[in-house]
A = this chain, B = another copy of it.
Amino acid sequence: MEKGEEVSNKQIIFKDYITGFPKETDMVLSTGTIKLKVPEGSNAILVKNLYLSCDPYMRSCMAKLDKPNYVPSFTPGSPLTGVGVAKVLDSNHPNFKEGDLVWAMTGWEEYSLLTMPDNLNKITDTDVPLSYYVGSLGMPGLTAYAGFYELCSPKKGEKVFISAASGGIGQLVGQFAKITGCYVVGSAGSKEKVDLLKNNFGFDEAFNYKEEHDLDAALQRYFPEGIDIYFENVGGKMLDAVLLNMKFGGRIAACGMISQYNLEKPEGVHNLFCLISKQIRMEGFLVYYYRHLYPKFLDFILPLIKEGKIAYVEDIVEGLENAPGALIGLFTGRNVGKQVVVVARE
């Protein structure tokens, strides 16, 4: 195609704010047109989207919120937004030129005009799968890194528990913990995922939480001496059971609470007194506020990935039209590994 040419542009449109469990029909495929040229006088860039990321936080963007939230809501009638890997087709920005690869907040569509180029990350190392830049080399990777190393101050020999452990973040936290010399146990929602944790990611132990009617007993089995570090991705009943099993002086990095996102009212957590009686620190965090660590993080992880010391499992769905189903699948645990949508491969 030619620069400046007007082409058709498939988009996934967000229909309207929702409550409760999201459905595929909350989104609709639509085809518009876009001119492949940045308007004069703007420093925007025009990109072709290649890989889109499906992340649990996007559920928050589907709700209308009274108070400002940590992430802005989607705009009804416009495409969803999320992190993606994209190729620059046209640029008025001095730092980007045609052909550059970037990862950034982009639209759920074939082509996007990105008007906030401060949030663009140029991809310089292409000696790895490009899709990793929405996963192990992108936001989930930095989330795992900041949450584990900055918030949890792990020490060799400590006992680490990770929920939603086979997801895009959990699988990395587990491998970081093993590299640090910790004992690592993960929970996940199927036999396939549990096998992945033990066989691909080197977790010491893993269990299927859906098969444990007593989570407290399950954790006692894997942590007879207690848990030093809990990397929290699910909330609710699991958090309650973990609190009972934390060690004195333990640390909890609260990254997400996916079990709660689609409930009208979140479940009650009853065992918070453990924070006092066991002098536990529980700290929530948002990766956005740790983005200054990204260069240091890349220096850390790129060699590990290239040397095969960190594995990364993706669940790759082909085609923008399948993106809504992929997003919904996060909340039923359908995905095995990091959920990625391929819009185009180049």
Contacts of A281 in B (CB 8 A): 281-284
Contacts of A269 in B (CB 8 A): 268-270, 272
For residue A46, give the distance in angstroms from its CB to the closest CB of chain B: 33
Flag whether A9 is at the interface (Cβ < 8 A): no
Contacts of A215 in B (CB 8 A): none
Assuming the contacts A70-B278, A278-B70, asked whether A266 and B273 have C-beta atoms less than 8 A apart, the reply is yes
Flag whether A265 is at the interface (Cβ < 8 A): yes
B271 with A266: CB separation less than 8 A: yes
Contacts of A286 in B (CB 8 A): 276-277, 279
Compute how far the CA of A142 lies from the CA of B30 in the bound complex, rounded to whole angstroms: 64
A277 with B235: CB separation less than 8 A: no
Contacts of A282 in B (CB 8 A): 275, 281-283
B289 with A273: CB separation less than 8 A: no
Those of A251-304 within 8 Å (CB) of chain B? 254-257, 260, 265-286, 289
B266 with A267: CB separation less than 8 A: no
Assuming the contacts A276-B285, A277-B69, A280-B284, asked whether A266 and B260 have C-beta atoms less than 8 A apart, the reply is no
For residue A97, give the distance in angstroms from its CB to the closest CB of chain B: 36
Compute how far the CA of A282 lies from the CA of B273 in the bound complex, rounded to whole angstroms: 12
Residues of A contacting B: mostly: loop
For residue A324, give the distance in angstroms from its CB to the closest CB of chain B: 24
Of the candidates A69, A270, A271, the one having the most CB atoms from chain B within 10 angstroms of its own CB is A270
Flag whether A130 is at the interface (Cβ < 8 A): no
B267 with A270: CB separation less than 8 A: yes
Compute how far the CA of A276 lies from the CA of B284 in the bound complex, rounded to whole angstroms: 4
Closest B residue by C-beta to A249 = B289
Those of A214-266 within 8 Å (CB) of chain B? 235, 239, 254-257, 260, 265-266
Compute how far the CA of A265 lies from the CA of B273 in the bound complex, rounded to whole angstroms: 11
For residue A55, give the distance in angstroms from its CB to the closest CB of chain B: 13
A266 with B257: CB separation less than 8 A: no
User: A279's contact among B69, B266, B280, B289, by CB below 8 Å, is which?
Assistant: B289
Compute how far the CA of A334 lies from the CA of B277 in the bound complex, rounded to whole angstroms: 25
Contacts of A255 in B (CB 8 A): 276
A277 with B70: CB separation less than 8 A: yes
Compute how far the CA of A97 lies from the CA of B235 in the bound complex, rounded to whole angstroms: 55
For residue A265, give the distance in angstroms from its CB to the closest CB of chain B: 6
B256 with A276: CB separation less than 8 A: yes
Compute how far the CA of A284 lies from the CA of B243 in the bound complex, rounded to whole angstroms: 12
User: A257's contact among B267, B272, B284, by CB below 8 Å, is which?
Assistant: B272
Report A's interface with B, CB cutoff 8 A: 60, 69-70, 235, 239, 254-257, 260, 265-286, 289
21 CB < 8 A contacts A-B? A70-B276, A70-B279, A235-B272, A235-B273, A255-B276, A257-B272, A266-B270, A266-B273, A267-B268, A268-B268, A268-B269, A269-B269, A269-B270, A275-B282, A275-B283, A277-B284, A279-B284, A279-B285, A280-B283, A280-B284, A281-B282
